[in-house]
Structure 1
Amino acid sequence: MQLSDSRTINADVATVWAALLSPEVLKECVPGCQEMTGSPEEGFEAVVVQKVGPVKATFKGGVTLSDMVEPESLKISGEGKGGAAGFAKGGADVRLEADAHQTVLHYDVEAKVGGKLTQLGSRIIDGFAKKMADQFFDNFQNAVGAPEELAEADAETGEQKKGWFKRLSGG
């Protein structure tokens, strides 16, 4: 399954780049992620619980960041084993583009599964993979920058609303 799309994030490129390297942000954004440890340099270890069609599995695996060109682009690769359910692996090529005070995040995602999961059929698997990618990037967009409708200054206080990552990082 391959998917390409983009998201406009109400944050500057430096903030978006920092969020992509943060295990805390990645844990919050990966659907079903129970645990995420590690660093951008060493890679991350993750535990993700997901239900694909009738199959519920706990995937344990690693996430690595490579081909990093700060603060322009990187590749996120992950692979997890789900015991009897099989395995899932995939990656995303991510490119950041400054647009005034916002960042356009472009991504190309590729996902593959094996084991019992392949018996579900490509339609279910492709739909699940697309849903996971959409959820991750929606979560990331909301974590790093306030949604567009909230990005304007609050009418009463005049303060700019921010995503939770920008509030935590002081951005």
Structure 2
Amino acid sequence: MQFEDSIFIAAPVPAVWKCLMDNDSLQSAIPGCSSITRKPEGGLNVALDLKLGFVQKKVVAHLQRKDMDKPKSLTFHGKIGAKHSGKCAVSLTPEGAGTRLAYGVSAEVGIGKSGLGAFVLKNTAKKLIGDFIGRLGKLAATTEV
């Protein structure tokens, strides 16, 4: 599954970047996230309550921030179990008094026999990312830099 988009955030680039680097801000912005903890070997464990179509499940995702070019871009690499992985490349560009956040998602999702089609997964992923960016924008708008 692959898709990309961009959205305007009414906050300056440094505030958006600060929120992307702050684990508490990420926890507040990620839909269904109940906790974020650092892994001893690096990266983060992200506890999530996911709802995909009619399936609801508690999972722990392993997340890493990579390829950072402060404060312009980074890539989030995530993995849930052995069958599900993905990455989201994020770039931040000043636009007026705010920020244009562009992202590109690529994911490998092993759906097995669950009956969830690619259409449901892609639409759910887009909705979750949209919710995340909306929450991130609200946090960034109140973040001091």
- TM-score by length of structure 1 reads 0.75
Higher helix share: 1
Higher strand share: 2
Say if 2:73 is the partner of 1:77. Answer: no
Instruction: Look up the SS of the partner of 2:31 in the other structure.
Output: coil
Q: 1:117 Cα shift?
A: 6.7
Match of 1:52 in 2: 52
In structure 1, which of residues 124, 130, 137 is the aligned counterpart of residue 126 of structure 2?
Answer: 130
Instruction: Look up the SS of the partner of 1:120 in the other structure.
Output: coil
Q: 1:143 Cα shift?
A: 1.7
Match of 1:62 in 2: 62
Higher relative contact order, structure no. (Cα contacts within 8 Å, ≥ 6 residues apart): 2
Match of 2:101 in 1: 105
Matches within 5 A, 1:12-31: 12-31=12-31
Say if 2:87 is the partner of 1:91. Answer: yes
Separation (CA, whole Å) in 2 of partners of 1:29 and 1:109: 17
Identity of matched residues, %:
29
Q: 1:116 Cα shift?
A: 4.1
Q: 1:115 Cα shift?
A: 4.2
CA contact (8 A) 1:89 1:113 kept: yes
Separation (CA, whole Å) in 1 of partners of 2:95 and 2:111: 43
- TM-score by length of structure 2 reads 0.87
Q: Structure 1 stretches of 5 or more lacking a match? A: 146-162
Match of 1:4 in 2: 4
Separation (CA, whole Å) in 1 of partners of 2:83 and 2:131: 20
Give aligned pairs, total: 144
CA contact (8 A) 2:45 2:63 kept: yes
Per-residue CA shift, 1:77-99, capped at 9, x if unaligned?
11123xxxx85322211111112
Q: 1:42 Cα shift?
A: 2.7
Instruction: Give, as a single letter, the amino acid of the residue that structure 1 aligns with 2:64.
Output: T
